[in-house]
Structure 1
Amino acid sequence: MDVLAALERKHSLNLFPIENRLSPRAAAALASDAVNRYPYSETDVAVYGDVSDLNAVYDHCVSLTKEFYGARHAYVQFLSGLHTMHTVLTAVTPPGGRVMVIAPEDGGHYATVTICQGFGYWVEYVPFDRQTLEIDYTALAERTAEHPADVIYLDASTVLRMPDARALRAAAPGAVLCLDASHLLGLLPAAPGTLVLDGGFDSISGSTHKTLPGPQKGLLVTNSDAIAEQVGARIPFTASSSHSASVGSLAITLEELLPHRGDYARQVIANARELARQLAARGFDVAGEAFGFTDTHQVWVHHPEGNTPHEWGRLLTATDIRTTTVVLPSTARSGLRLGTQELTRWGMKEDDMTTVAELLARLLLRGEQSRSVAADVRDLARSFPGVAFADRPAPLAVA
């Protein structure tokens, strides 16, 4: 097998809500000498002697993270979203503590409950309103008044509505509030009124390769000195290597996106809303019409009776369209979960969502042959070879 050839980018239409495109500079960092190096460190009994000054790269990445999110403290040592979740939960939850999370059928991450139970925590679900597709803050207040939670860890992986940090704080005033923003990190600059650190979340963390177009890694920000001390004390026991090349790649991503972070976030959301409207206009059953379909990068499409999400998923994959089928909170059944963050990173705008919706309609509603649709998919992908929202946009080579 030619492994390098298999790893080359294929011309496809990426509607995964869990992936994004690295810039050429950020991708180059992953192939640098730092990929196999540790930064300098000292303890009472040991010295790890790095001669490359990788600590400066780490410090720079931390500074950029704090500036990007307007936070007082930041950590970038985590390898992934799940790695971050493990570290945060064990840092802030007391032994045998009570943790509230989002149920998987309400959009919660599949692994959170198992992780919490493995650490011996008592787990309960945050109340969820399936009509509005939001947390039921009134029911949450009633529940926490009766049984106070030590930690509320919001872990939404399938999400159309932004959580309201202040409403959450009012409903659970005594709990440590942690937002797993793996799906939202790149959108936070467009949601200052609902996603806040001061008076809201104690920490915001998550993976850095979804709406934030960085490498596969994790970060955490907080304005709480106490949370920062707890997390910082825990990190040496969860991250012996932080993958220096990925830290550099994340720093480059933040450098490039920083001046455009608000424009990028707003465009991702605008593209998602327009894609949803265009799909609905063509006859797809799209969730969330009552509130404009979506407030995030995600669009949810319910499959018709007599059709299974696996049939749609396999057909889309065969047509070079990358998608996910998961349980959607709107129905508690499987359906299509689409995302617009990578298309936005390519440089697509609202008008381009008409083309994307038409490709999906041709394939899934009209039964057009996969081969003919795939040819148009590849042509569309080839027409967006570069990276938008970067200070140094550099086209990628087109094969």
Structure 2
Amino acid sequence: MSVTSTLEADLLCRQDPELAEVLLGELARQSTTLQLIAAENFTSPAVLAALGSPFANKYAEGYPGARYHGGCEFVDVAESLAVDRARRLFGAEHANVQSHSGSSAVLAAYAALLRPGDTVLAMGLPFGGHLTHGSPANFSGRWFDFVGYGVEADSGLIDHEQVRTLARTHRPKAIVCGSIAYPRHIDYAFFRSVADEVGAYLIADAAHPMGLVAGGAAPSPVPYADVVCATTHKVLRGPRGGMILCGGELAERVDRAVFPFTQGGAQMHTIAAKAVAFGEAATPGFRTYAQQVVANARMLAGELAAAGLTVTTGGTDTHLVVVDPTPLGVEGRAARGRLAAAGMVLDTCVLPHGDARGLRLGTAALTTQGMKEVEMVRVAALFAAVLSERTDAGTVREEVRELAGRFPPYPC
């Protein structure tokens, strides 16, 4: 298999056959099912090679040229490469690539700009906001006073009038734009204008669309936001991790909020893998990929709508598709279970203006495997067949296995 060298696989099998069996089982799962989780993707073998490199051995608290440990001459170069590539890729004045995750990137952004008790305006969790946008179970909801905006009941689009009214009423210290289940482009210029009107910082939580931004398939928040938080996996197709982009005037505050305020030693193997991913995302091939991700999502949304599912906002601009399966007689959690039994892996999410749960799909991973619009038509047909129970899950599972087998994520 190409995800790891034969030598490494043999070493793991000899040293820890129990874990090796688990790893091979996961590879088989990924290779025989359809990965429709919107936040997941397949990294390249080069990214995996960096993740499994000797950089994993190195402690490197601090930043290039200013470490608290010796022997950092090579990891300094790796991190500088990642920073420079991120800055060029997104047109940002400053990039911090040390955040361990998207959530830790948001935590650092809040730490750089806010104080406990400050008011923050963000998308409400029932409408697609993230846990870091004010959930009482999360640090954000415990440390800050969050006010949530929502979406219009008829269109499912962000209620811009409500955003402006809430901002004028509550005068937040920061406004957050971004969502985990909003399939349309965000009007960053609008949010910038509202932030300027009330004297607030604008934080873009762009974990989902930043890969599309890199590929020129989505508008960039960088020219508008004071701070942009993102993940390096999802559509960007890098290792699991986070990053922060900002202007030069906030660079020191952001860096100090990451280290030493919220994190300790940087994960240098992950940062090296981020550098690889940023390099890959700067290629023409990645731009083609990003455009195909969106084309696939639009085809999938249209076909699911034609099959009778309700597609929120009437479609998508991104890799995300959010659907309500109840027109086919099944609610979200049960639908996810049926689809999982048929080899289609995805998430549920809360649907706006109600307590029902829908299904959240993404096309990033399938597109990485090489699937295009014709395969999306077939995926939608299998999807609807399972939910309507026209075909039993076992039969669909064999069709899924055949389809996935034609597009292996890591060809041997």
Matched, 1:69 2:90: yes
Give the residue type in structure 2 aligned to 1:217: G
Flag the 1:96–1:135 CA change in 2: closer, same or farther, 3 A.
same
* Alignment match, 1:60: 81
2:51 is the alignment partner of 1:27: no
- What are the equivalent positions in structure 2 for 1:127-146 lying under 5 Å apart? 127-146=150-169
Determine if contact 2:183/2:317 at 8 Å carries over to the other structure: yes
Q: Show the counterpart of 2:12.
A: none
Distance 2:311 2:250 in 1: 40
Q: Go from structure 1 to structure 2 and tell me whether the alpha carbon gap of 1:350 and 1:362 turns closer, same or farther (over 3 Å shift).
A: same
Aligned counterparts of 1:33 and 1:275: Cα–Cα separation in 2:
41
Change over 3 Å in CA distance of 1:195–1:331 after alignment to 2: farther
1:380 aligns with 2:403: yes
Q: Which secondary structure does the structure 2 equivalent of 1:125 belong to?
A: strand
Q: Secondary structure at the match of 1:187?
A: helix
**Other-structure match for 2:140:** 116
Q: What whole-Å deviation, never above 9, does each CA across 1:94-114 have from its counterpart, x for those lacking one?
A: 342111111111100134313
Return closer, same or farther for 1:333/1:14 CA change in 2, 3 Å cut-off: same
Identity of aligned residues (%): 30
Where do residues 93-242 of structure 1 align in structure 2 (5 Å cutoff)?
93-113=114-134, 114=136, 115-119=139-143, 121-173=144-196, 174-189=199-214, 194-198=219-223, 200-222=224-246, 224-236=247-259, 237-242=261-266
Cα distance in 2 for partners of 1:47, 1:311 equals 51
> Which amino acid is the alignment partner of residue 341 of structure 1?
A
Q: Distance in 2 between matches of 1:346 and 1:24?
A: 13
Partner of 2:289: 264
Contact 2:213–2:219, Cα closer than 8 Å, also in 1: no
Q: Give the match's secondary structure for 1:20.
A: coil
Q: What's the CA shift string for 1:302-343, capped at 9, x where partnerless?
A: 122652322211121122211111112275520111100111
CA distance in 2 between partners of 1:194 and 1:132 (Å): 21
Q: Is the 8 A contact 1:30 1:245 kept in 2?
A: yes
TM-score normalised by length of structure 2: 0.86
Task: Report what 1:294 is aligned to.
Answer: 316
Distance 1:75 1:169, change over 3 A: same
Structure 2 counterpart SS, 1:385: coil
Q: Which runs of 5+ in 2 are unaligned?
A: 1-16
Return the offset for 1:190: 6.0
CA RMSD, 1 decimal: 2.4
Q: What does the per-residue CA deviation read over 1:176-204, in whole Å, with 9 as the maximum and x for residues that have no partner?
A: 01011111111124668853333x21121
Secondary structure at 1:186's aligned position in 2? Answer: helix
Which of 245, 248, 255 in structure 1 is aligned with 2:272? Answer: 248
Partner residue, 1:359: 382
For 1:157-189, what per-residue CA distance to the aligned partner results, in whole angstroms no more than 9, with x for missing partners? Answer: 111111111111222311101011111111124
**C-alpha contact (below 8 Å) 1:164/1:195 kept by paired residues:** no
> What CA distance in whole angstroms lies between the structure 2 residues aligned with 1:41 and 1:137?
41
**Cα distance in 1, alignment partners of residues 55 and 238 from structure 2:** 17
Alpha-carbon distance in 1 for matches of 2:67, 2:383: 58
Alpha-carbon distance in structure 1 between the residues aligned to 2:74 and 2:262: 23
TM-score (norm 1): 0.89
**After superposition, what is the alpha-carbon deviation per residue over 1:335-375, rounded to whole angstroms, capped at 9, x for unaligned?**
11110011111122222211111211221224312222111
> 1:91: which partner in 2?
112
In structure 2, the partner of 1:393 is none
Distance 2:192 2:61 in 1: 40
1:323–1:140: structure 2 CA closer, same or farther, 3 Å change rule?
same
